[in-house]
Structure 1
Amino acid sequence: MIQILARYIILFVLTLLVLAILSFSLAYLFPGDVLTNLTGITPQNDIQREALARQFQLDANYAVQFYHYLGDLLSGNWGYSFISGLPLSEEISLALPATIELATYAMVLAIVIGIPVGCYAGLRSYTTADYTINSASMVGYSFPVFWLALLFILMFSLEWNIAPLSGRISLLFDIPPKTGFILVDILLADNINRSLALRDALHHLMLPTLAISVISIASMVRLTRRSVIDVINKPYVAAARTRGLSQSQIFFRHILRNALLPILPLMAIQITTLITNAMIVETLFSWPGIGNWLIQAIYQRDYPALRIGMLAVAFMVFTLTILIDLFNRIIDPSREKYERATV
C-alpha cells in the first residue's frame, strides 16, 4: 500500500508540474503583448514597461519566470481579474464549488436511478423490459447535453413554467457565500426563512442537474446491466442456487456486490464527463460556476483568469480522478495483481 501511495504522490506532483508549465506558457501563446496579457495595462512609456517587467520577472529567462510563477501559485497570489479587479483566488473559490455542486448532485442522481434500473434490466436480461430499458438508455446517452438543456428550458421554464430559467436562487434571498455550495450556505445563513430558501434553491437546481445527469444515468444503466449479466453467469451464482438460497439472498450476497466492483473504476470517467457537461450547461442556465466564469473571461479577453481557470479545472479533475482510483484500489486490492499481470 505504501508503494501505491508513493506512486500516486509522484504521479500527482509530476502532473501538476506539467499543468503549471502549460499554464505558464499560455501567457506567451495568447495574442498580443505578453506584459499586457499579464497585467491588463498597456505601458505608456519605456519606464513603465521596465517597471512592470521587473515586477513579473519578464526581464529574466524563462526558468526564472516559471520559478517566480510557481512561487505565486503556491502562495495563493494568482493575480487579479481584468473584469472585476478582484483576486482570482477569491473568484475561483466562489465559482468552483458551484460547478462541483452540480456535478455532485448529478452523480448522486445517476447512482440512485442508474444502478437499480441497471440491476433490474440485468436480472430481466433479454426480455421485453430489458430491451425497453436498454433502448431508452441508448437514446438518453445519444442526446447532446446542450441540446437537452435547451429542450428543458423550452419545456419546463418557458412552456409549462415549472422551474426557474436561470440562476441559483431568487434575488429575494440574500445568502452569504460561506462555502460556495448553495444548499449548505442556506443552512448556515441567518435571518432567512430556510425552508422557503431551500425550496427555491432546489427549484433552480432541478433543470441543470437533470440535464447533466441524463447521460450519466444512461451510461450507469448500461454498465450496471452488463455487469449484472456477467455475474449471473458465474459459477458461484449457480452454486448459490444449488444450496437453496432465495433470489433476494443470491442477489444481495453474490450478484450486487460483485457486479458493482467493475463499475467503481468507471466512476472516475463519469466524474470527468459530469464536470465537463456541468461547465457547458452553466452558460445556458446562467449558473455562476467555473464554466460560465471562463466563458465570460474568453469574451472579455481576461487572460490571467483563463490561465488560472484552466489550471484550477485541470487540478480539480485530476485530483478527483486520483482519489477515486485510489479508493477503488482500497476496495478491490485484486486490481493491482491483474494490472501487474497485464504489464
Structure 2
Amino acid sequence: MSLTEYEKKVLYTIVKYPIANDREIAEKAEVKQSTVAAIRKRLRKEGYYRPVAIPMLQNFGAELLAFTQANFNPVIPLSKRLEITEKKIETFEEIVFSMGEEDKGFSIAFSKSYTDIARINDIRTKTFGKLGLLEKEYPDIAVFPFKISKIYRFFDFSHALKKTFEIEDDDSEVNNFFSVDEKTLSKNEKNLLCSITENPELNSKQLSSMLGLTRHTIGRLKRKFLNEGYLRIVNIPDFHKLGFCLLAFYHIFFDPHNPPDFEKDEAMDIITDETILMTTREFESTLISIHSSYEAYKSSNTYILQKLKENGWIAKNPVVKVYSLNKTVIIKNLSFYPITKKLLFC
C-alpha cells in the first residue's frame, strides 16, 4: 500500500459512509474539505474503490438470496472452466457475484423463486458433471429467503479497513441489510432505478438527458430511493491495492437443539472486523471474511470456531473454503443490473 494517513482516513470514511459528500467526509475524517476532494478524485481515478448501486430487490419481487459453492477437479485448467461457465452459467441474470480458483468456486444469486435457483444449480451440476469438472460432492447451496433471514453485512469493508488502517472509530451495524418492505414503482421510477443500478456514477444531468425527466425529479426520486428502502450505495475497495490476500467462505449449520437466538441476533457474536458479509436464518448461516495475511485469517477463524463451540451452537465444524486472492478470478463482480431489469421489466 502506498497511501498516506490522510488518504487512509478518507478512503475508510468513503467506504463507511458511501453517500456522504465532501463536506460530510471532511467532518467525519477530520481532514480539510479541499484535501478530501483531491484525495477522493485520486483514489477513484486510480481504482482504489468503486461505487456499486444495490437495489433492494427483496422489495421488488426477489424472494431469496442463495450461495452456491463447489469443489472442482484441479486437473481441468481454470481458464477452461471459465470458458464453459461464462457461456452456460454466468449468463443467468440471477447470479450477481461469482469467483473461483483452480479447485473451487462460489457464487451469490438473487431470485424471485427457489425454482429458478434450483434450475440454475441443476444446469451447473449437469454441465460440470458431464465434463468431469466436479469432484465427487454435489455443489453446496445455502438458501436464505428474505422474510425469514437476516443479512447483517453485505460487502461491507469498513470494519476490515478500520483494522488494516488502525483507525479508531465507533462501530455501527445494520440489523438487516435486506429488510422486507415491499414497494410499488411507477414506470419512471423503474427506469431511473435501473439506470442508477447500471451506472451509479451518472449525475442528475446525465440521467435527466437519458430518461427525459427533469433534474428536479431525478434528485427527488434519488433521495426517495436512498431514504425509503429502494436502493443502497456501497463503495467497494480494491482487494489487491490494499494488501488483502485471502478470502474465507463459511457455511455454518447450527445445532437444531441449541441454535443462537435468531430474534436476539445472537449469531452476530461470530462477526469479526474482517467479516464483510454475513447472512443467517434459524439454523444456518454463511459468512465471508477477508484477510491481509494467513495469520490474520487463522486468528479470525479461531475466534469464530471458539464462539460457535463455547456457546454450543454447532454439532459439527462449518464448511470453510479459503481463497488466495492472487490466484482467484472474479467472474461476476456485483452485477445487479441484469436481475433488476428482469424483475422490474425496465
TM-score by length of 2: 0.24
Higher Rg:
1
TM-score by length of 1: 0.24
Identify, as 1 or 2, the structure richer in helix: 1
